[in-house]
Amino acid sequence: GESVGLHLPTLSVQEGDNSIINCAYSNSASDYFIWYKQESGKGPQFIIDIRSNMDKRQGQRVTVLLNKTVKHLSLQIAATQPGDSAVYFCAETSPHTGNQFYFGTGTSLTVIP
Amino acid sequence: DADVTQTPRNRITKTGKRIMLECSQTKGHDRMYWYRQDPGLGLRLIYYSFDVKDINKGEISDGYSVSRQAQAKFSLSLESAIPNQTALYFCATSDSRVETQYFGPGTRLLVL
């Protein structure tokens, strides 16, 4: 079956430092990945996505890296700010799952001022 | 995302009661989804719909039913609520051309 997991359930970083959140997936056929941010009391918010034909994609202060060899995904947040404190999920999908998404359990990021 | 709204935002009900959670979207997307979120677990898919005449079961559809009244509206019903259906419920939408899903603010449901 599908499994999407995160290496660390919690992460604390100092304001201004870079954050790295990791995610492992098991389906080698997965071809599309998304990172979501969920703040307390709110729904998941799209941050950045990447397709399997890429290994890196950059957004504003965020970078997603995809290593298909070891089925690993990471989210890097540059110059972490207090507003980045939230739970971060990875999600993956593949044509073989009818394009249904499978979500990780989440990593809780706390930014220390 | 204000383009996806859910009502009610919070609901307390008793075991055996029938309840309905509603979702509306103004994004013009054709695909809609219902998920539940439990502590320590990832979002799990309950039902999804790719257009008004299409309804599909997700990973955990038992005890739930849905209705796609229009392209913009997708409701989730619990026919006879039970305590282990206490959870946070999210509606999401996507466009058939792009898989990215956009979520509503969630409905917190407590079944006593």
- The residues near A79 (Cβ < 8 Å, ≥ 6 apart) are A16, A17, A18, A61
Cβ burial, residue B2 (10 Å; 0-12/13-18/19+): exposed
Confidence (pLDDT) at B11: 97
With an 8 Å Cβ cutoff, are A34 and B106 in contact?
Answer: no
Give the one of B42, B100, B102 whose C-beta lies nearest to A103's C-beta. B42
Tens place of pLDDT for every residue, chain B, 112 residues? 469 999 999 999 999 999 999 999 999 999 999 999 998 788 999 999 999 989 999 989 999 999 999 999 999 999 999 999 999 999 999 988 877 899 999 999 999 9
Best A49, A103, A108 residue to mutate vs chain B (most B CBs within 10 Å): A103
- Least CA distance to B4: which residue of chain A? A43
Confidence (pLDDT) at B98: 79
Cα angle at A5 between A99 and B38, to 5 degrees? 80
Q: How far is CA A82 from CA A9, A35, A61, A79, A113, in A?
A: 18, 19, 14, 10, 7
With an 8 Å Cβ cutoff, are A106 and B42 in contact?
Answer: yes
